[in-house]
Amino acid sequence: MCHTEYVTMVRGKKLIRNLVWGVYFCLPLILLALLLIPIKRARAEVTELVLINQDSWVLSGGSVKSVVTGNDGTTYLGGFFTQIGPYVGSFVSLDSSTGQYDNTFPKVVGDVSTVTSDGLGGWYIGGKFSKVGNYERQNLAHILSDKTVDPNWNPNANDTVNTLVINNNIIYAGGRFTTMGGQTRNRLAAIDVGGSVTSWNPNAGHTVTTLVINNSIIYAGGWFTTTGGQTRNHLAAINVGGTLTSWNPNANDFVYTLAVNNNTIYAGGWFTTMGGQTRNHLAAINVGGDTDVVESGC
């Protein structure tokens, strides 16, 4: 064998050896990369799924990392979510015995903050929503006893409705809104059962969070410090004619909720004094006469 042939043979053996070693070391990495390609693609498809189908299922509690569809059309989801269930909207009717929800109830798209009975088997609802059933409804709606949306009652609040009460076929609303039915109504408004905004216009200076009625007086609590142009720190009383009364307990911070019993208004909130007396977050106020008595024991 000549020298040239020998060198060529040695070089060929080295090339084959290097190729074998290259495949040995690189093949696992190549296979791993091929396996990761579909995973990356699946991860890129959905990073966080909140609503799968508005008429079927929703997820909450985390993100979706992988989506795979089987041969039978079933979709499999994997990720960090903790709950999955039927889409019901934010206002549901539940069976008191079984807990089963009524899927014929109109779905609310948004948040419901307050509900009050219409006295006829239906409901007035308020909150921060934009649609009820098939109807566009801005933050207020009436659901009839037959589970349909009242097509005529549409006051159209321009912001959140936090609280509703009804008295003598008038629905009183409190919240963050500044217009109702196209008319200026700062955080307090009254709507009749036909959907028309009445002339009742107390003009609260800030958010109203709660309302109660006692003897045709509407008591309001919230963040406001003025009502009807007068100082009323977080609590006020307005008659059905829209006039502010002299009732003025003077809470030192916001009132979140009110209840009434036997001519006493019970208040809960962030306040620490009421009527100049120490009352940490709970207080009771007498409604009788012009004298505001903060009762002891709260």
Residues 175-207: pLDDT tens digits? 999 999 999 999 999 999 999 999 999 999 999
Is 60 exceeded by the pLDDT of residue 145? yes
Q: Confidence class of residue 93 from pLDDT cuts 50, 70 and 90?
A: confident
Report which of 117, 105, 108 is spatially closest to residue 146, judged by C-alpha positions: 105
Largest CA distance in the chain: 127
Q: Which residues contact 250 (CB under 8 A, 6 or more apart)?
A: 233, 235, 274, 275, 276
Separation between Cα atoms, residue 140 and residue 148, nearest integer Å: 14
Q: Does the pLDDT of residue 280 top 70, yes or no?
A: yes
Instruction: Name which of 32-36, 79-83, 141-145 the model is least confident about.
Output: 32-36
Whole-angstrom Cα distance, residue 264 to residue 140?
Answer: 29
Does 236 score more than 70 pLDDT? yes
What pLDDT score does 16 carry?
56
Distance CA 234, CA 227 (A): 9
Summarize the confidence of residues 87-115 as an average pLDDT.
82
What band does 48 get if pLDDT is binned at 50, 70 and 90? very low
At 237, the amino acid letter reads A
| pTM, 2 dp | 0.74
DSSP letter for each residue of 99-157: --B-TTSPPEEEEEEEEEE-SSS-EEEEEEEEEETTEE-SSEEEE-TTS-B-SS----B
Asked if the model's pLDDT at residue 27 lies above 70, the reply is no
Provide the percentage of residues in the chain whose pLDDT is more than 70: 75
| Structure-token pair, residue 290 | 């012009």
The most confident of the ranges 43-57, 97-111, 157-171, 281-295 is 157-171
Q: Which pair of tokens denotes residue 177?
A: 């809104």
